[in-house]
Structure 1
């Protein structure tokens, strides 16, 4: 299979894994850490979902404007279109959205030792930012995947194991492993108070950690690794 297709499928997996961790952990974290009621938690999740629509509309407008600019430059005699075409706008957008999500996950970490104790406003903003950016990235990834297949691997567009099925399966695996990860973290932790959790180790030694750190720290590392992969393999994603 083409390396570009594999890269996009990996990013799609990471995207769904991150979304699942952000959304599935929100009710438990907000209720145990910040004492949200069920109504408040439901309202927060609804607002997150509503914000996806204008974000996708803004991204669509930006991509459309860029395409119009590219076509105008091609029709002009100024000679700038070659340099414009050399830039991979979709790959750059994917990187920017991932960087924004990394910032969101970094904001949600609870680092009380250096005076960055997690507060309600910062948690809501960080989770909202990460969720909206990851949802917006999904459409860009699918667009990029379809272009890579059309230009470099047309055989993957047909048959039983086509690109659509592979993308769906990558997303399903991401969601499943995201839920499994949350279940594993929760099973290793016992609730002590609204602010802290205990991690039970094999030696029966309890290490005091923040629940949000256990949820989002590994996810941040996964995103940073994916960023490195994309930057290292930009040629594979170029069309």
Structure 2
């Protein structure tokens, strides 16, 4: 059971890193195509996203984690990441800056919250033999994150062959599928998370 929970936590970590890599890596292409943003505008946008990390972690660490259980925060964060991904799709034309910036902010902040809670839960469910030595929990989570980034970058590359107009939705579909799978897995293992 412990190995199953460890795999689940690594899958959640994979999901959040995949979603964040899709968001961050394709932001320059998406914003240039839809909004004709310059490189400096994209840099400011990404810097503003990055500036949310510390305040969000302080709020979660000092307040939210004292009110709710970690598994509740985990499930809520996954659902909010899913909502952020859904809001990112280009279904209604024209695709607007508030839609993109708002959905990116929701996805990024929820993924940051999810990362902290997930790693905390991972440290609790990790078996004792994975707590020491070279092949420990830190290495496994790093490898899961690296694999997620590689696959996300591959997804962006392959989706690029469809053309810039289809890039956004083509890269968001796998993110949405992985996120929904993660939510379903959380629901099935919810009672075993502590």
Larger Rg: 1
What is the CA-CA distance between 1:162 and the residue it aligns to?
1.0
C-alpha separation in 2, matches of 1:101 and 1:14: 10
Does the 8 Å CA contact 1:23/1:131 hold for their aligned counterparts?
no
**1:31-52 Cα shifts (integer Å, max 9, x gaps):** 1111011111110000000011
Could you tell me which of 176, 179, 191 is aligned with 1:223?
179
Q: Distance in 1 between matches of 2:94 and 2:184?
A: 29
**Higher normalized contact order (CA 8 Å, seq sep 6+, divided by chain length):** 2
On the 8 A contact 1:94/1:141 being kept in 2, the answer is yes
> Which structure 1 residue ranges, 5 or more long, are not aligned?
67-87, 192-196, 198-209
Corresponding residue SS for 2:134? coil
Q: Which residue does the alignment assign to 2:121?
A: 144
Deviation, structure 1 residue 65 = 2.8
**1:62, CA displacement in angstroms?**
2.1
How many pairs are equivalent?
193
Alignment TM-score, normalising by the size of structure 1: 0.76
As a proportion of its length, which structure holds more strand? Answer: 1
Please report the RMSD computed on the Cα atoms of aligned residues, expressed in angstroms.
Answer: 1.6
| Residue 159 (structure 2) aligns with | 185
Runs in 1 of length 4+ with deviation above 3 angstroms?
A: none
Name the counterpart of 1:203. none
8 Å contact 2:156–2:167 — kept in the other structure? no
Q: CA deviation at 1:226?
A: 0.9
Q: Distance in 2 between matches of 1:180 and 1:145?
A: 27
Structure 1 residue 12 corresponds to structure 2 residue 40 = no
Question: TM-score, normalization: structure 2?
Answer: 0.93
Structure 2 gaps, min length 5: none
- The C-alpha deviation readout for 1:24-78, integer Å capped at 9, x for no partner, is 0111100111101111111000000001111111100125533xxxxxxxxxxxx
CA shift in 2, pair 1:176/1:128, >3 Å:
same
Q: Could you give the per-residue CA deviations for residues 169-226 of structure 1, whole angstroms, max 9, x where no partner exists?
A: 111111111111111111x2234xxxxx2xxxxxxxxxxxx43211212211210111
Which residue number in structure 1 is paired with residue 47 of structure 2?
46
